[in-house]
A = this chain, B = another copy of it.
Amino acid sequence: MKYILILLLSVFVSNAQIQKEQLDLMPWPQKIDLGTGTFALNKNFKVNITANPNSRIFIGATSFLRRLDNRTGLFLPQNFLTQINESPEAELQINCGSAGKIEINENESYELIVTSSKITLNAPNDLGALHGLETLLQLLQNNSTSYYFPTVSITDAPRFTWRGLMIDASRHFQPVAVIKRNLDAMAAMKMNVFHWHLADDQGWRIQIKKLPKLTDLGSNGNFYSQEEIKDIVRYADERGILVVPEIDIPGHASALLAAYPEIGSKVDNGIGSYAIQTNSGIYNAVLDPTNPKTYQLLEEIFDEVCPLFPGAYFHIGGDENNGKEWASNPRIQEFMKKNKFSGKHDLQTYFNMKLIPMLKKHSKKLMGWEEIMTDNMSKDAIIHAWRGVNEGLQPGESLIKAAKSGYNTVLSNGFYIDLMLSIATHYQNESLSKNALLSPEEKARILGGEAAMWSELATPLNIDSRIWPRTAAIAERLWSNENVNDLQSLYKRLKTISFRLEEVGITHIRNKEVILRNISNNQNTIALNDFSNVCEPLKNYKRNGGGKKYRMHSPLTLFADACTVDASDAIDFNFAVKKYLDNKNIENEVVVTNFFRKWIKMNTDLIIVSSNAPLVQPLLPLSQKLSEISEQLLLLIEKKQNSDKSKLNILIEQANIRNDADVELAVLSGIKLLL
């Protein structure tokens, strides 16, 4: 009887008016007018496409149908959509006038109108229509037995034209399947630029047919064939995504120089003395800008790489050249003197400027990390702003400087997701708004931003959980209105958004369980899972201890790899503590003390699991500390014992020390509040 009541109640709830706040949309659209009715989804639901788009919308609409029936279990009738006006009677009408161009500043707007009997999606081109389909999927609601859309009218368009994700495929190679599923997730979040970091000290990852040594000697066999590159570019195009390749030069060139040491800057011209790097860090290996062979080889590379990427941009890296090899090579010093170069920056600008015509030949614009922004650099270059507080600059400082100096610019400072910082950090990245003093012309030069996923500690197994769901918040920052910035709303919507990313193949949830099963040695993972929900990987590259702990072939199947930023129980606990301190009633107290009981039990269970699981051993000191802290706090709160606060403080301090698990307790802030 009780359950019948629940059922009835839920039917009742489902018929109640949906509030805008209930919608789990991300990025949040520019304008939503919510009606009071519903459009009921049933198994006869069909899609029709009109106007004159390219094949992109047929692929997108087919994929929309498959995601809809996979999610709902409805056996929708349409298979592959292939023709215009195939089903004029269809409930969903997609009108997209023309084929969108995969380029910056293309119109990506759309209008979505759901009435109780019809859904209309209008867009000037298929790119907007694809965005509209993602919004429609996010609008889907259900009661206990069926699915429906709320009646609504949405008009939407992005705030910034450049909404990117960079994936580093050099430090750890990321196979085609990893890239494709992340392109799908990007499309779901209306992101439109995939920046592909293809070469660095740890590996050269793109086949160059004329220069096979690059992959023979620079990749350990892990690279993309040109066919695979084309396949991914096509796959991205079908999802409305521009691919920007990056070949990082003149620094970060160990892998390139392992193949062609003769264009390196070592005094002996480096023959045989460069090698692929297997640690993290910044290396000396740098191309020789004074050697004509350098440009000859680069031109051969560009001549093969550029035609693979139809987009207008080519990223040449240009970052973190320490100049040491240049400084210690007398021939290069002589060259600089002769040319009256005041320092390594002048030499690098000289080098960069030589690249521009090579790229121009292929109608490509040069893009580079902000180090390329020197006095003499061409204003045609796009400046990729990445440095900030860690590098002694103000947040957004380089972005503003670039815009004021006349450069188009893209922001990644504040969007380095490999730093393992909280979603709030990225969501509240205000640099894009610090443009009060910019002229409209200068403002227009800020194209947008990019999440940057460096892969020193990211493998195909764990990379999705490093990118997602935090990148969804970055996508919203770049798409939605500046004043869409409520953290509670973000957290709430993210629960659904993160779950739905599984639908497009993102493995952030499932692979966590794989890692925990491995750690547990196939035992029960409940305690490990509980512990992972209060621990976060060490932040700001601390996990890798100056790049010395993990080499590129070190295991990344450890507890820290199962843990993620924004540990879920930690968020809940820290929130519960604040609520309890606001009002020390018994309900609020129990919520807090139940966490302590859970952690005491968890520690006990972890000890049991550890008896047959060596990989659990490194976690025990920390879980033991948490258990002891919990016991003390239970005494303090429940028994009102004036427990020994200094003992507690010592425990907390000990829990704060770097441990062999390479994680930090994310509940310490809440715990400290209780003292």
Within 8 Å CB of A10, what residues of B? Answer: 611-612
Closest to A58 in B: B221
Which of A351-359, A496-504, A591-599 is the interface stretch? A496-504
B-chain residues with CB within 8 Å of residue A495 when the two chains form the complex? 522
A9 to B608 Cα, complex, angstroms: 11
List, in ascending order, chain B residues with CB within 8 A of A556's CB.
70
Q: Are the CB atoms of B513 and A499 closer together than 8 Å? A: no
Across the interface, do B144 and A611 meet the contact criterion of CB distance under 8 Å? Answer: yes
Binary per-residue interface labels of chain A (611-655) against chain B in the complex, 1 for a CB within 8 Å, 0 otherwise: 111110100000000000000000000000000000000000000
A614 touches B3 (CB 8 A): no
Identify the closest chain B residue to A226 (Cβ): B227
Q: Which of A86-94, A547-555, A562-570 contacts B (4 or more CB under 8 A)?
A: A547-555
Flag whether A268 is at the interface (Cβ < 8 A).
no
A518 within 8 A of B: yes
Q: Closest CB of chain B to A555's CB: distance in Å?
A: 5
Mask, A507-535, CB within 8 Å of B = 1, is 10111011001100110000000000000
Asked if A73 and B615 sit within 8 Å, CB to CB, the answer is yes
Inter-chain contact B73/A607, CB cutoff 8 Å? no
In the complex, A433 has a CB within 8 A of chain B: no
The answer to whether A509 and B518 touch across the interface, beta carbons within 8 angstroms, is no
Q: Mark A142-176, 1 if CB is under 8 A from B, else 0.
A: 11111100000000000000000000000000011
B231, B502, B612, B613: the one contacting A517 at CB < 8 Å is: B502
Judge if A297 is at the interface, Cβ distance under 8 Å. no
Instruction: Please determine whether A614 and B551 come into contact, CB atoms closer than 8 angstroms.
Output: no
Q: Does A604 contact B (CB under 8 A)?
A: yes
How distant is the Cα of A551 from the Cα of B142 in the complex, in angstroms?
A: 25
Q: Is A294's CB within 8 Å of the partner chain B?
A: no
Q: Is A66 part of the contact surface with B, judged by Cβ < 8 Å?
A: yes
Q: A177-B175, A510-B513, A612-B142 are in contact. Are A69 and B6 (CB under 8 A)?
A: no
Quick check: which of A74-82, A98-106, A324-332 contacts chain B, the rest being far away? A74-82
A73 touches B558 (CB 8 A): yes
A13 CB to closest chain B CB (Å) equals 9
A225 is an interface residue with CB less than 8 A from chain B: yes
A551–B79 CB distance below 8 A: yes
CB-CB < 8 A to A66: which residues of B?
553
Interface residues on chain A, number (Cβ under 8 Å) = 69
- Whether A79 contacts B144 in the complex (CB less than 8 A), given A10-B611, A611-B10, comes out as no
A30 to chain B minimum Cβ distance, whole angstroms, is 27
Which residues of B sit under 8 angstroms from A428, Cβ to Cβ?
none
Q: Compute how far the CA of A588 lies from the CA of B147 in the bound complex, rounded to whole angstroms.
A: 46
What's the minimum C-beta distance from A41 to chain B, rounded to whole angstroms?
A: 10
Is the C-beta of A95 less than 8 angstroms from some C-beta in chain B? Answer: no
B80 near A604 with CB under 8 A, answer no
Identify A144's interface contact among B509, B522, B617, CB under 8 A: B617
Q: List 14 additional A-B contacts (Cβ < 8 Å) besides A74-B555, A144-B617, A145-B617.
A: A59-B221, A66-B553, A72-B615, A73-B558, A75-B550, A79-B278, A80-B553, A142-B521, A144-B612, A147-B614, A176-B176, A227-B227, A502-B514, A503-B518
For the complex of A and B, 7 pairs with smallest distance between CB atoms: A177-B177, A510-B510, A227-B227, A10-B611, A3-B607, A70-B557, A499-B522
26 A–B contacts from the bound complex (CB under 8 Å): A3-B608, A6-B608, A7-B607, A10-B612, A65-B553, A69-B553, A70-B557, A72-B614, A73-B557, A74-B555, A75-B551, A75-B555, A79-B278, A79-B551, A79-B552, A142-B521, A142-B612, A144-B610, A146-B614, A227-B228, A499-B522, A502-B514, A502-B517, A502-B518, A509-B514, A510-B513
